[in-house]
Chain A
């Protein structure tokens, strides 16, 4: 058994930022466990730019953004394991790790879960039809093209307008494929608005809202899909069915926080986010186990992942110094119009960043934090969009002597 102060599971954006922040707070004994051969997580394959505008006021590509943190990890001499998989984790914070050099057990005083997320697949959304080759999730396609130098198809239809799908639409066009269309079940796009502009509009790729794929054809390689319009209840309108020939179907239909290890440890999850139930320091239902990044909630911007990770490092530091003493546990009530709010509860009443998403797009909206009838904070937005996470900070003075907290969209 090897003892560690902090073990971080995952060496992607969240894990790296958490490690650097922990070290900068004076925590010495940190170990990052990464299952791949290189640090950086999903950023490694996100070779497009647009990362870092909030954090560094500069637009970086994914690999550049990751390298900034990898350099810091190395400068600080933070220990990391590559090609290593955590195969077990207990509520007592004992981790079983396997890699080429063997199977080892670690006992951590504190654990930071930063495993990221996985893509929703065809099977999960139950697209009917045959099961030929040529159906890829956008992230797998991105990996094959940007890391492995392969082309995945020539004539592509994309289902779902998540950011990775939009980014891949442009990538595929630049690499010589034809992207015929992007279909989105919802009446609005799921990705960031700028990506509809620079990835679809720039390349004349049509976006069909309220449309989905209702059949897949082809025995060996996909030959066609059937697209159809859906009504306001999401029901297929039969008369709108249309067959579209293609040799590739790309899916960008959502991301799921990868919480298998969290479940193993016995951590309670929030069905609304798919991530853990946490307090204002990202501490889960097991004291000393923290979580941040896409494993906590799916982010749209990596900068927010870094910020979230840096924030929870405060909690880790206090936990290790036994300074994390609950004052008053307050469950956050979610008002109508919001899909979720994080944290789900606060208990120290320190400065807290709340993050949340709205259920549907809207103009001229207000977010109101309320303690019963008293308004604690109010912020106005020209536009709100489910694709864009909202983050609002409440200071400890704003949170002092509250009994109840509700977040509303008006």
Chain B
């Protein structure tokens, strides 16, 4: 099978053409870097994405702490992770990188804070 992909790894947005049979890649063309090839391998086998979202936060200078998974997770789990973010309430202060949920949904990635939230004065 032959398919064109748009790489999402960086703003270059390389158009990468891949020929593959099942999960086995026969030929890759158009990637400007190694990361692009890796992206295609995953895209064919098990597409991975970074999840980003936000979690409610009490007593802070922001109402929401923005969060992300610190590693890409299978794209099929995105909505489930989103659901998790709706069910949580954090308490300020929160630091960037603070783990909110470790090993989220057993996907070997932690949900971490991406916003510094100070206590409301």
Contact = CB atoms under 8 A, between A and B. Distances in A.
- Given a CB threshold of 8 Å, the question of whether A touches B is answered with yes
A63 B63 contact: no
A63 B115 contact: yes
Contacts of B115: 44, 47, 63-64, 67
A302 to B, nearest CB: 10
B17 interface: no
B15 A53 contact: no
A194 to B, nearest CB: 4
A61 B68 contact: yes
A198 interface: yes
A44 B65 CA distance: 11
Contacts of A147: 62-64
A148 B63 contact: yes
Contacts of A372: none
B11 A47 contact: no
B66 A47 contact: yes
A198 B61 CA distance: 31
B53 A47 contact: yes
B66 A61 contact: yes
Of the listed residues B52, B67, B68, B79, the one surrounded by the most CB atoms of chain A closer than 10 A to its CB is B52
A37 B78 CA distance: 32
Given A47-B66, A192-B11, A193-B13, A174 B53 contact: yes
Nearest to A389: B11
A129 interface: no
B41 interface: no
A381 to B, nearest CB: 11
Contacts of B30: 382
A355 interface: no
A128 interface: no
Interface residues of B, number: 32
Contacts of B63: 147-149
A148 B64 CA distance: 7
A61 B11 contact: no
B1 interface: no
Contact of B66 (A54, A63, A388): A63
Nearest to B56: A149
B75 interface: yes
A197 interface: yes
A300 B12 CA distance: 12
Given A149-B56, A175-B82, A383 B15 contact: yes
Contacts of A44: 115
Interface string B5-31: 111111101010000000000000010
B8 A197 contact: yes
B78 A174 contact: yes
A194 B66 contact: no
Contacts of B9: 53, 194
Contact of B8 (A171, A174, A198): A198
B54 A301 contact: no
Contacts of B10: 53-54, 194
Given A61-B114, A300-B11, A146 B54 contact: yes
Interface string B50-62: 1011101000011
Contacts of B79: 173-174
A281 interface: no
Contacts of A50: 8, 11
Contacts of A62: 66
Interface in A164-208: 171, 173-176, 192-194, 196-198, 202
Contact of B68 (A49, A174, A176, A301): A49
Contact of A193 (B6, B54, B64): B6
Contacts of B82: 174-176
A48 interface: yes
A149 B64 contact: yes
A72 interface: no
B78 to A, nearest CB: 6
B6 A196 contact: yes
Contacts of B62: 38, 147
Nearest to B114: A61
26 contacts: A47-B52, A47-B54, A47-B67, A47-B68, A48-B52, A49-B68, A60-B114, A61-B114, A63-B66, A63-B115, A67-B96, A67-B116, A147-B62, A148-B63, A149-B63, A171-B53, A174-B53, A175-B53, A175-B82, A193-B15, A194-B6, A194-B7, A197-B6, A197-B13, A202-B78, A382-B30
Given A53-B11, A194-B8, A383-B15, 18 more contacts: A47-B52, A47-B53, A49-B50, A49-B52, A50-B11, A61-B66, A63-B96, A64-B114, A148-B63, A149-B64, A175-B53, A176-B82, A192-B11, A193-B15, A194-B6, A194-B11, A194-B13, A300-B11
